[in-house]
Amino acid sequence: MKTKLKEMSERLNLTDKQMAKYIGVPLNTYSKWVKGEREPNTSAIRLIEVLEMIELFCPNLTKTLINQE
């Protein structure tokens, strides 16, 4: 999962802080996932998979979701 998250953040050109916000988790949690210190639960994994599908099929929606504050 850590590789998938890093690749996704690089594709979207997001910092760790921005990526954590995009997924909806605290930065500390996201950092632990990326470092492999902790694994996301099944709900978080599913959300990440759905966000990847949105990125693939609806890139404009991905941009909108990223830019929401």
Q: What is d(CA 63, CA 27) in angstroms, rounded to the nearest whole number?
A: 20
Q: What predicted TM-score, i.e. pTM, was given to this entire model?
A: 0.91
DSSP state of 29: H
Give the pair of three-digit tokens for residue 22. Answer: 């995009």
pLDDT on residue 51? 97
pLDDT on residue 69? 57
Range of the domain at 53: 2-67
- For the chain, residues with pLDDT lower than 50 are none
pLDDT on residue 68? 84
Between the CA atoms of 51, 53, 54 and 60, what dihedral angle is there, to the nearest 10 degrees? 120
Number of folded domains that form the chain: 1
pLDDT on residue 2? 87
Nearest partner of 62 among 49, 48, 51, judged by Cα: 51
Q: Which domain CATH number covers 10?
A: 1.10.260
